[in-house]
């Protein structure tokens, strides 16, 4: 893969450089609750600007449905990027339309602009090659060069990630280079026991990676929204908890394979439940009840791992040689459901293991709960991306940069 330094040697001054970043940060209204992903890519953008490039930054935010939706605007991220860079950052109110074209055309050398959310255009995520390609053509018209640095999105075969680098001379940004360097170590030289902790809410995305992780990990601890499909597979009722019903047979198979391969596959023994999802804005007390994982009432939802599970997971982490953790153990955004995620973060820190935390929300959780991010071996900006990398899959966004 070419790097920014290679591009610099060839000369980027005066060139329009399209930087595909992952500025998909958690928001409370228009307020960014964790800016980790913006801070992670800011050095790449600063470096290109210092080299005299006209920098056009693009990203997705959330999962809008292929049309503009103000709730998913990248405007707050553009403002934050400007603060971090200590300079004015222009903002285009569309992605390839009049505003984007005018902003791109008006950039001076060393100036930075952010485009509106790529996913406001159906072409970005389309499964149809022609539709994606047409959108990539429009993006390509804005720039001379492409730098891929949105590590969190490299597992997506999307127009700006996969099709665009095929249309412009391209290089990998410094964030991608660092991420790949660290994660590569986890695929080659793993200190054992290798413990993987999985949680979060993107259940269907993440269940698929367990298939491969069963070949690599010594112990897999499951929490968060992931846990309930497994509990269901074990024959327990899960009330109104997050459930991927169609994956129950796959979960049963994973459990059987784990046993056959001698992988310790650990599920919660107790959970915190409530009849309703907590108020994440006002944070009014949720007053959850603790129940055994095989006794979740029909009208209640599991929202965090319980105290016995926290203790069990801490024990399972204590002697680890390597830990990869992706996905919060509960709805950590509410203080009543942050305990499980805190316990796992503390468990990682108490172990002597090389620890990698992957995922926008997992990294945000670690910081928002007051942990020192530097105490972990590596905090990856990629959730699904880091998992799929560890799975050994070819990631579209990396493959496109290699070509
Ligand atoms: N039991 C649960 N029920 C519902 N949601 C949950 C549960 N446990 C955790 N969550 C939610 O999971 C979300 C994070 O999941 P996600 O899979 O997106 O994590 P991530 O991998 O760190 O991030 P990403 O993949 O976006 O980089 C949080 O917003 C949290 O509230
Ligand atoms: O949060 C993430 O994992 C990345 O930004 C990718 O987002 P996506 O899962 O909506 O594609």
Question: What CATH number should be reported for the domain holding residue 32?
Answer: 3.40.50.1260
Residues 169 and 232 reside in one and the same domain: no
pLDDT, one tens digit per residue, over 89-138 is: 999 999 999 999 999 999 999 999 999 999 999 999 999 999 999 999 99
- Per the annotation, the verdict on 360 as an active-site residue is yes
Model pLDDT, residue 354: 94
60 is in an annotated binding site: yes
Which pLDDT does position 255 carry in this prediction?
97
**Judgement on whether residues 135 and 245 belong to the same structural domain of the protein:** no
**Nearest ligand to the C-alpha atom of residue 157:** 2
260 shares its domain with 385: yes
Domain final residue pick, 155, 173, 191: 173
Is 252 within 8 Å of 229 (Cβ atoms)? no
Of the residues 118, 145, 173, the one at which a domain ends: 173
Tokens of 225: 């929204």
Which whole number is the average pLDDT over 383-391? 90
| CA 188/CA 389 separation, integer angstroms | 12
pLDDT recorded at residue 382: 94
CA distances from 137 to 96, 160, 166 (A): 10, 10, 10
Whether 396 maps to a domain, the answer reads no
- The verdict on residue 201 lying in a domain is yes
Looking at the DSSP bridge assignments, the partners of residue 56 are 18, 113
pLDDT at 185 over 90: no
Q: Which residue puts its alpha carbon closest to atom 2 of ligand 2?
A: 152
pLDDT band at 386 (very low <50, low <70, confident <90, very high): very high
The verdict on 146 and 247 lying in the same domain is no
With respect to residue 109, please indicate whether it lies within any of the assigned structural domains. Answer: yes
Same domain? 245 vs 368: yes
Tokens (6 digits) for 182: 């660290």
202 an active-site residue? Answer: yes
58 within domain boundaries: yes
The predicted pLDDT at position 349 comes to 96
Question: In Å, how far are 1, 53, 143 from 9, measured between CA atoms?
Answer: 15, 13, 19
| Same domain? 157 vs 257 | no
pLDDT, position 208:
80
397, part of any domain: no
Nearest CA residue ID for atom 30, ligand 1 = 331
What is the reported pLDDT for 301?
98
pLDDT value at position 403?
A: 84
CA distance 400 to 68: 27
Same domain, 166 and 193: no
The answer to the question of residue 401 being in a domain is: no
Is residue 392 a contact partner of residue 386, using CB atoms and an 8 Å limit? no
Domain's final residue, options 173, 195, 228? 173
Same domain, 80 and 42: yes
- Residue owning tokens 């990398």: 389
- Mutating to test ligand 2, I would choose from 383, 385, 387, 395 the residue with most ligand atoms within 8 A of its C-beta, which is 383
Q: Residue range 289-312: average pLDDT?
A: 98
Is 151 in the same domain as 188?
A: no
DSSP string, 43-74: HHHHHHHHTT-EEEEE---S---SS--GGG-S
> What is the arithmetic mean of pLDDT over 370-388?
93
- 11-66 pLDDT, tens digit each: 999 999 999 999 999 999 999 999 999 999 999 999 999 999 999 999 999 999 99
Residues in the chain: 403
- Provide the β-strand partners of residue 42: none
3-state secondary structure of 20: strand
Residues 284 and 155 in one domain: no
Closest CA to 91 of 113, 69, 66: 113
Residue 321 lies in domain: 182-391
Question: Which atom belonging to ligand 2 lies closest to the Cα atom of 22?
Answer: 5
- Quote the distance between the C-alpha of residue 216 and its chain's center: 21
Six-digit token string for 329: 């153990």
Residue 279: how many other CB atoms lie within 10 Å: 11
pLDDT confidence bin for 323, thresholds 50/70/90 = very high
Is residue 398 one of the residues assigned to a domain? Answer: no
Looking at residue 212, what is its pLDDT? Answer: 87
pLDDT exceeds 90 at position 239: yes
Q: What is the mean pLDDT of residues 73-92?
A: 98
Query: What are 189-216's pLDDT values in tens digits?
Result: 899 999 999 999 988 888 888 988 999 9
Residues with CB under 6 A from ligand 1: 152, 199-202, 224-225, 242, 302-303, 326-328, 330-331, 333, 359-362, 383-384
Tell whether the model's pLDDT for residue 281 goes beyond 90: no
Read off the pLDDT band of 74 (50, 70, 90): very high
Number of structural domains found in the chain: 2
Out of 37, 54, 132, 342, pick the active-site residue. 37
Q: Establish if 402 belongs to a structural domain.
A: no
Q: What is the ipTM of this complex?
A: 0.94
Please indicate, yes or no, whether residues 207 and 352 belong to a single structural domain of this protein. Answer: yes
In this prediction, residue 360 carries a pLDDT of 86
The answer to whether 158 touches 124, Cβ cutoff 8 Å, is yes
Averaged pLDDT, 294-307: 98
Instruction: Looking at the structure, tell me whether residues 192 and 149 fall in a common domain.
Output: no
Q: Which residues contact 297 (CB under 8 A, 6 or more apart)?
A: 239, 273, 291
Any bridge partners for residue 305, and if so which? Answer: 271
Mean pLDDT of 132-156: 98
DSSP per-residue codes, 262-326: T-EEE--SEEEEESS---TTT------EEEETT---TT-EEEEE-HHHHHHHHHHHHT-SEEEEE
286-297 residue pLDDT tens: 999 999 999 999
pLDDT of res. 282: 84
* Among the bound ligands, the one closest to the CA of 153: 2
Give the Cα-Cα-Cα angle 228, 230, 231 (nearest 5 degrees): 60
Q: What is the pLDDT of residue 206?
A: 85
39 is in an annotated binding site: no
């Amino acid at each position: 893969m070419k790097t920014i330094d290679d591009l610099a040697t060839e000369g980027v001054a005066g060139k329009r450089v399209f930087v595909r970043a992952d500025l998909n940060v958690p928001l409370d209204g228009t307020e960014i609750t964790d800016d980790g992903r913006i801070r992670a890519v800011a050095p790449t953008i600063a470096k290109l600007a210092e080299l005299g490039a006209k920098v056009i930054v693009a990203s997705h935010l959330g999962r809008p449905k292929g049309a503009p939706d103000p709730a998913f605007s990248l405007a707050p991220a553009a403002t934050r990027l400007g603060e971090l860079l200590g300079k004015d950052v222009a903002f285009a109110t569309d992605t390839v339309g009049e505003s984007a074209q005018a902003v791109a055309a008006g950039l001076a050398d060393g100036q930075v602009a952010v485009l509106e959310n790529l996913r406001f255009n159906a072409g970005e995520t389309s499964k149809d090659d022609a539709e994606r390609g047409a959108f990539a053509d429009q993006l390509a018209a804005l720039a001379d060069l492409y730098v891929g640095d949105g590590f969190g999105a490299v597992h997506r075969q999307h127009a700006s990630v996969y099709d665009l680098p095929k249309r412009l001379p391209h290089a990998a940004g410094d964030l991608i280079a660092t991420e790949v360097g660290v994660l590569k170590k986890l695929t080659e030289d793993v200190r054992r026991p290798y413990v993987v902790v999985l949680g979060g809410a993107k259940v269907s995305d993440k269940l698929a990676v367990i298939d491969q992780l069963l070949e690599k990990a010594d112990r897999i601890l499951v929490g968060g929204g992931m846990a309930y499909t497994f509990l269901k597979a074990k024959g327990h009722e899960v009330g109104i908890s997050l459930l991927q019903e169609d994956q129950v047979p796959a979960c049963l198979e994973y459990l059987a394979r784990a046993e056959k391969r001698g992988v310790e596959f650990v599920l919660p023994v107790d959970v915190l439940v409530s009849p309703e999802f907590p108020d994440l804005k006002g944070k009014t007390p949720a007053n959850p009840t603790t129940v055994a994982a095989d006794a979740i009432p029909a009208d209640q939802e599991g929202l965090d791992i319980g105290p016995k599970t926290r203790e069990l997971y801490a024990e399972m982490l204590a002697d680890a040689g390597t830990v990869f953790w992706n996905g919060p153990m509960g709805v950590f955004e509410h203080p009543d459901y942050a305990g499980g995620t805190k316990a796992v973060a503390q468990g990682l820190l108490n172990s002597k293991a090389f620890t990698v935390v992957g995922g926008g929300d997992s990294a945000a959780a670690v910081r928002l709960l007051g942990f020192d991010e530097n105490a972990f071996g590596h905090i990856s900006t990629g959730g699904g991306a880091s998992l799929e990398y560890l799975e050994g899959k070819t990631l579209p966004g990396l493959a496109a940069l290699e070509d």
